[in-house]
Structure 1
């Protein structure tokens, strides 16, 4: 199959996945540009169109700051998450653009909206994340999990009705992860109200 046909197939796959993920059209445009740039005659050997298309979406979500986890993309694309992450790393190095991989902010906003939490709680959750990053406890952690814990912690500090179960339901982050990240945040952040 010639490269133009493969590019078209990749763009179609990106459009399908973006529609299934119900995410912004800008992500599709960015992902298509990334796909075309990285999937060439020289690089296509041993790399499936579907995996590179999914990886392009994952990288595009980071660039566009759209909060979609690798696990969610992998599930919709029907590929192993570890395979998606390997391809994403390859795509990211191929486009040679530094991307702030750890950005919990969009997840905080998404979770606060879904839980109908106050602006004060949202601001406090952002502050918890900022302090946690500054104190070095965020290294190696999932942005979605770190954000979920910060939202739970902030809601507790603000006396808003919000349980770990509630946060788990809207975020998909396990209750164990929420509890562990929350405890780490509470140790270094304290009462930031």
Structure 2
């Protein structure tokens, strides 16, 4: 017996060719694609993969979503693996029995071992832990942390970490990310929170720039002003005046070859004095991460070249 019924897939493809694409509409209630010209059903029983809920704000969308978090470079497995919670509570919030807690502890231990299976994964796990610690100590924003993790992963792929301290390379990656994203952090600040010396971090930083072809701009002293001013509880007028001082100094070439943090500290000191919000050189030097001598020398240079007379105490 010959079956005269045509293949539904071929038919739908033939219908699509007859009906222009701009005349095809989708009926979400019936799950069908319909041609407006002929009224024919071109495709039926279409699976709707959209969520059945609606959200009107980003917070509401995140709360109602039932998928996992986004991929992140700051976790050695990019956040793909799951982790067993340390709360030792069941789904209802009750404490687990001692015997059950021991079982969960064993499962947690095996799960942690299964996440790290190679030397590269072990290296990344140690580095990402160090990145978390340094980011907290330096109060770095999320985007800098992500960029530092990406730089370190590229260094691992090119074999730059082999024979070098993980701590030095991750510190250099953080410094490179800060320079790329114009977040004011100095090598001295970063080395203060690590066991690696400033010299080692600087050597690794130069290696990353060369081998990974990272383009960074020179540090702008103006980027350091908000951080110093906020730490000293200085107002917006002081920040504006300090930025104006540095703009004038740059226009006449006074800032060339000078430490940006020292210049910013000196400009903030002068602006605070002129605005009547006095702060000592010691306070400003401590916040900026430079010495009092640096602040004193830089502010005298700026005051002399710009013709600024500070009020006497």
Report if TM-score (shorter chain) is over 0.5.
Answer: yes
Deviation at 1:85, TM superposition (A): 1.3
Q: Shift in Å at residue 160 of structure 1?
A: 2.5
1:11 alignment counterpart = 128
**In structure 2, what is the Cα distance between the partners aligned to 1:158 and 1:25?**
34
State yes or no: 1:161 paired with 2:278.
yes
Richer in helix (by share): 1
In 1, the alpha carbon distance for the partners of 2:232 and 2:161 equals 43
TM-score (norm 1): 0.88
- Tell me the C-alpha RMSD between the 2 structures: 2.0
Query: Structure 2: how far apart are the matches of 1:134 and 1:29?
Result: 35
Corresponding residue for 1:29?
146
Q: Which residue in 1 is equivalent to 2:219? A: 102
Q: Identify which of 144, 151, 163 aligns with 2:261.
A: 144
Query: For structure 1, which runs of at least 5 residues remain unmatched after alignment?
Result: none
Residue in 1 that maps onto 2:208: 91
Contact 2:188 2:289 in 1 (8 A): no
Distance 1:148 1:37 in 2: 35
**Conserved in 2, the CA contact under 8 Å of 1:59 and 1:88?**
yes
Higher relative contact order, structure no. (Cα contacts within 8 Å, ≥ 6 residues apart): 1
TM-score, with structure 2 as normaliser = 0.57
CA distance in 2, matches of 1:123, 1:85: 32
Structure 2 equivalent of residue 122 of structure 1: 239
Aligned-partner SS, 1:155: helix
Residues 153-188 of structure 1, C-alpha deviation per residue, up to 9 Å, x if partnerless?
Answer: 111222322221231232232110001111111122
**1:184 correspondence with 2:274:** no
1:62 is aligned, of 179, 190, 211, to 179
Deviation at 1:78, TM superposition (A): 1.4
1:70 and 1:5 map into 2 onto residues whose CA distance is 27
Structure 2: unaligned runs, 5 residues or longer:
1-117
- In 2, are the aligned partners of 1:39 and 1:52 still within 8 Å (CA)? no
Helix, strand or coil for the counterpart of 1:96? coil
Larger radius of gyration: 2
**What residue number does 2:189 align with?**
72
1:148 Cα deviation from its structure 2 partner? 0.4
Distance in structure 1 (CA, Å) of the matches to 2:205 and 2:306:
33
